[in-house]
């Protein structure tokens, strides 16, 4: 169940001038790192993370205008917040290199799991910009990029859910689908489980299945982007029920 890419996740959220963010593009840098890029309000922002794993990484931010010309900035600061537990967060200054390029190297990502990487851009001309990249670092395996949870991705996930999942989990996710009758253990109530699992964990449940249950692995049937589309649909649809 899902949508594109396993491993290091870069989903871009934004505030300030960076609003209505389009989905980032997936690319592999020449050094094997992972890059995500977008264009909003005439500003092109690219982030390269290499090698994209727990430990020391290189974070390269590139700024350009709508024509691809390097965009000057007074400063670019990075912030790192681990989402699995409260570690207090950390920040890092970047060093300016070639025009429009800012770099930091360090062990800012010390644990597997989901991190928010905040990029704060102080511009010399124009308003400041702040973007948050959602970085999901796996325990093992190659890293990849999670596409943004756009309406199109959620719609794709909805179609896949109807085709593959509703027959057991039910249209409303309560585990009451027709093919789930008599299964032991019964299909999970997604409304009770989805809110308490991270996106990477949901991806793994779909890709690898659940041993000892009727939940089969879908990684050899669905593409990575399809599995992530399902994750986005689950996240958007199934929420903790109010008491």
- Where are the chain's structural domains? 11-137, 151-237
11-137: which CATH architecture?
Sandwich (2.60)
Crossing angle between the packed helical segments 226-237 and 199-208, to the nearest 10 degrees: 120
Long-range contacts of 34-38 (CB under 8 A, 24+ apart): 34/8, 34/10, 34/143, 34/144, 34/145, 36/10, 36/12, 36/133, 36/145, 37/62, 38/12
**Pair of tokens at residue 202:** 């949901």
Q: HSE of 170 in the Cβ direction (CA atoms, 13 Å)?
A: 15
For the chain, 243 residues long, give each residue's pLDDT as a single digit of tens.
433 333 444 554 443 222 223 333 333 344 455 677 776 666 787 888 887 777 778 999 998 887 889 988 899 999 998 887 777 788 999 999 999 999 999 888 877 778 888 888 888 777 777 877 777 776 654 445 566 788 999 999 999 999 999 999 999 999 999 999 999 889 999 998 888 877 877 887 898 887 678 898 998 999 988 999 999 999 999 987 654
Q: What is this structure's pTM?
A: 0.50
- CATH superfamily to which 151-237 belongs: Cytochrome c-like domain (1.10.760.10)
CA neighbor of 188 nearest in space, from 170, 208, 207: 170
Rounded Cα gap, residues 69 and 228, in angstroms: 33
């Amino acid at each position: 169940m899902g949508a594109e890419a396993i491993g290091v996740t870069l989903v871009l959220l934004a505030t300030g001038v960076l609003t209505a963010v389009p989905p980032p593009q997936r690319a592999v840098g020449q050094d094997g790192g992972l890059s995500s890029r977008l264009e909003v309000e005439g500003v092109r922002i690219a982030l390269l993370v290499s090698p994209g794993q727990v430990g020391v990484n290189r974070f390269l931010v590139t700024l350009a205008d709508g024509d691809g010309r390097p965009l000057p900035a007074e400063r670019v600061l990075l912030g790192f917040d681990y989402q699995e537990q409260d570690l207090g967060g950390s920040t890092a200054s970047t060093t300016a290199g070639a025009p429009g390029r800012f770099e930091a190297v360090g062990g800012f990502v010390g644990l597997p799991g989901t991190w928010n990487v905040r990029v704060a851009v102080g511009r010399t001309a124009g308003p400041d910009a702040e973007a948050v990249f959602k970085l999901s670092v796996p325990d093992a395996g190659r890293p990849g990029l999670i596409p943004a949870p756009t309406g199109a991705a959620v719609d794709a996930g909805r179609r896949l859910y109807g085709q593959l999942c509703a027959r057991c989990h039910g249209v409303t996710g309560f585990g009451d689908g027709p093919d789930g009758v008599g299964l032991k253990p019964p299909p999970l109530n997604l409304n009770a489980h989805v809110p308490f699992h991270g996106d990477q964990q949901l991806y793994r449940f779909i890709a690898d299945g659940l041993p000892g249950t009727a939940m089969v692995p879908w990684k050899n049937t669905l593409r990575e982007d399809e599995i992530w589309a399902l994750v986005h649909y689950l996240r958007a649809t199934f929420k903790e029920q109010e008491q």
